[in-house]
Structure 1
Amino acid sequence: MTPDLSPDRIDRLRDAFLSAEYHADGVMNLLGPQAHAALGRGEPQPALRATADTGPLGTLIRLFLLGEAESTAAVATALHPLDMEEAKAAGLLVEEGRTVRAGLDVRPHAAAEQSWWVISDLDSDLRPSSSPVRTDHVLGVGHASLSLVRATSRRPVGSVLDLGTGCGVQALHASTHARRITATDVSKRALALAAATLRLNRIDAELLQGDWFDPVADRRFDQVVCNPPFVVGPARSDFVYRDSGLDGDDASAMVVGHLPAFLHEGGTGQLLASWIHRRGEDWRERVAGWLPASGVDAWFVQRDIADPALYVGTWLRDAGYDPRSPSGRQKADEWLDWFETHDVEGVGFGFVALRRTESAHGEVVCEDLRHAFDDPLGPETDGWLRRVEWLRDHSSTEALLGSRLVTTSSTVLEQVSSLEETGWAEFVNRLHRTDGPGWQHEIDELGLRLIAGCQGALPVGDLVELLATAHGEDTEELTRAAVPMLRELVRHGMLLPAEWAETER
Structure 2
Amino acid sequence: MTSALIALLRDDLFAARYTAETVDSLWGADAASALRRGQREPARRAVVTAGGVGALATVFVLGLPVPAARLAAALPTLGVDGALALGLVRLDGENAVPLVDLRPHGFVDEFGAGSWWIASDLGEAALRRAIPENHVLGVGGASMTLAGLMVGTKVDRVLDLGTGCGIQALHAARHARHVIATDISGRALELARFNAELNGVGTIEFRAGSLYEPVAGETFDQIVSNPPFVITPRGEGVPSYEYRDGGLVGDALVASVISDAATHLAPGGVAQLLGNWEYRDGTDAFDRVAAWLDGTGLDAWIVEREVQDAALYAETWIRDGGILPRTDEFDALYAAWLDDFAARGVTGIGFGYVTLRRPVSGAPTLRRMERLHGGLGNNPAGLGVHVASTLAAHDLQASLSDTELARTAFVVAGDVTEERHYWPGDEDPTVMDLRQGAGFGRTFPLGTALAPVVGACDGELPLGAICSAVAQLLEVDGDELLAEVLPSVRELLTTGFLGA
One-letter amino acid of the structure 2 residue matched with residue 405 of structure 1: F
Match of 2:417 in 1: 412
Residue deviations 1:183-241 (CA, integer Å, cap 9, x gap): 11011110000000111101111010011011111112221110000012434671111
Match of 2:257 in 1: 255
Does the CA-based 8 Å contact 1:303-1:348 persist in structure 2? yes
Match of 1:199 in 2: 197
Does the CA-based 8 Å contact 2:282-2:347 persist in structure 1? no
Does the CA-based 8 Å contact 1:7-1:196 persist in structure 2? no
Match of 1:27 in 2: 23
Residue deviations 1:302-336 (CA, integer Å, cap 9, x gap): 11111111110111111121232222211111110
CA distance in 2, matches of 1:201, 1:462: 56
Compute the RMSD of aligned alpha carbons: 2.2
Residue deviations 1:338-390 (CA, integer Å, cap 9, x gap): 11221212111111112211230331101111121242321110111011111
CA distance in 2, matches of 1:296, 1:199: 35
The Cα shift of 1:89 comes to 4.8
Match of 1:184 in 2: 182
Partner SS, residue 289 of structure 1: helix
Residue deviations 1:371-428 (CA, integer Å, cap 9, x gap): 212423211101110111112211x3223223222222322211111125xx455211
* Cα distance change, pair 443–29 in 1 and its aligned pair in 2 (3 A): closer
One-letter amino acid of the structure 1 residue matched with residue 181 of structure 2: A
Match of 1:400 in 2: 405
Residue deviations 1:15-58 (CA, integer Å, cap 9, x gap): 33233332334434555666566656655445334423333222
Alignment match of 2:56 (pick from 44, 57, 60): 60
Match of 2:213 in 1: 214
CA distance in 2, matches of 1:428, 1:337: 46
Partner SS, residue 405 of structure 1: strand
CA distance in 2, matches of 1:468, 1:487: 19
2:391 equivalent to 1:385: yes
One-letter amino acid of the structure 2 residue matched with residue 209 of structure 1: A
* Cα distance change, pair 77–471 in 1 and its aligned pair in 2 (3 A): closer
Match of 2:446 in 1: 443
Partner SS, residue 274 of structure 2: strand
Match of 2:161 in 1: 163
Residue deviations 1:456-489 (CA, integer Å, cap 9, x gap): 3333223323333443323443233212111111
Does the CA-based 8 Å contact 1:270-1:353 persist in structure 2? yes
* Cα distance change, pair 320–199 in 1 and its aligned pair in 2 (3 A): same
2:44 equivalent to 1:48: yes
One-letter amino acid of the structure 2 residue matched with residue 148 of structure 1: L
Alignment match of 2:241 (pick from 239, 242, 259): 239
**Greater Cα shift, 426-435 or 11-20:** 11-20
Partner SS, residue 137 of structure 1: coil
The Cα shift of 1:73 comes to 2.2
2:137 equivalent to 1:139: yes
Does the CA-based 8 Å contact 1:402-1:460 persist in structure 2? yes
List gaps (5 residues or longer) in structure 2.
Answer: none
CA distance in 1, matches of 2:267, 2:388: 16
Match of 1:12 in 2: 8
Residue deviations 1:58-100 (CA, integer Å, cap 9, x gap): 2111111122221122223333433535533543113333322
* Cα distance change, pair 15–133 in 1 and its aligned pair in 2 (3 A): same
Match of 2:337 in 1: 335
List gaps (5 residues or longer) in structure 1.
Answer: 498-505
**Greater Cα shift, 19-28 or 348-357:** 19-28
- Aligned length in residues: 488
